[in-house]
Amino acid sequence: MSKKPIFLNYKKRPKLRDPIMLAAWPGMGSVAIRAAEFLWDQLKPKEFAEFSPEGFFFPQEAFIMNGQIEVPRLSTGKFYYWQHPKARHDLVLFVCEAQPAPEKGYAYAQLVLDVAQSLKIRQVFTFASMPMPIDHLQDVNVWATVTDKRLLKDLLRQQVKHLRSGQISGLNGLLLSVAKERDIAGICLLAEIPLYAIQIENPKASKAVLKVFSRVLGFEFDFTSLDERARIVDEEIDKLIEYFKSGVTPGPISEEELESFKNSLAAATKLPDSARSRIEELFRAAQNDLTKAGDLKKELDRWHIYKEYEDRFLDLFRHSRGDSQ
């Protein structure tokens, strides 16, 4: 008889006071993972458990070091805890280096929440990004979605906006759906990032969600390191804009040129798989019901990719009239 695989290795089992959990994986703008790394650096939490990656992660690339290819290394997920007498809650921080294989995401979320329930955690947080048609120098708005609307009361006092519909890709979203299945309160804080920079690290967005989270935790952070990193990233984006401007026309960049740059950069940026899936769903819906074409057009415009799909979009109407080409 084969042994049941051991997925979790404990170093210790901490005793915690009214703990909350923050779980983070990489995603657009590196919002969640950079925020978790900031907390790790600021709070110096203690590791207490680690997931075995076998069966959840599969190597898809080779790393070269010192002139030779290395043995594949699988991504790890680790649990940390932090306690402070001045904080309202003890904190459990789960940080994973990568998203597991898509077909393994649900099972992975179950294991994370097994640990949460064993520690009597009643509230789980995740962070995510919200691509929007904004400028990289604008102030960042924070949105929230919850497993129960009663959780919104305190968040709305902090001028957090309520996300009423949409989709959160990957484990930063899926974990909370699984939490709802178990009657665990779940909150996702989403920070706005520019559509044209979804592949670029966004420390400003990480700070925005952390400011809200710090009030929940009841502990203030020194954001100097994030502010400095945000300044550097903004300067690099400005340089990129100047580069594009120099090839267009001398003098200050116009609003039209800036918008053109944003659209071009957005088009050149890899569209998230979740967005592609959503677009395909809307195409199928519009084929069966042409009144859904408006929703499809809004989604294409939101990602600045209507031109890429224009022929296919117009074909919906040609086929509805029985036109032949």
pLDDT for 247 equals 61
In a domain, 64, yes or no: no
pLDDT for 119 equals 95
Whether residue 198 sits in one domain with residue 134:
yes
Q: Residue for token digits 């084929």?
A: 287
Amino acid at 82: W
Whether residue 280 sits in one domain with residue 213:
no
Whether residue 283 sits in one domain with residue 210:
no
How many domains does one find in the chain? Answer: 2
Whether residue 295 sits in one domain with residue 212:
no
In a domain, 20, yes or no: yes
Whether residue 209 sits in one domain with residue 278:
no
Residues of the chain scoring pLDDT < 70: 1-6, 65-66, 243-275, 302-304, 319-325
In a domain, 165, yes or no: yes
pLDDT for 296 equals 87
pLDDT for 246 equals 66
pLDDT for 324 equals 41
pLDDT for 320 equals 63
Whether residue 286 sits in one domain with residue 214:
no
pLDDT for 240 equals 75
Give the domain range for residue 121.
8-52+72-227
pLDDT for 309 equals 85
CATH number at residue 95: 3.40.50.10900
230-261: pLDDT as tens digits: 888 888 888 777 766 666 545 555 566 555 55
**pTM for the predicted model, two decimal places:** 0.73
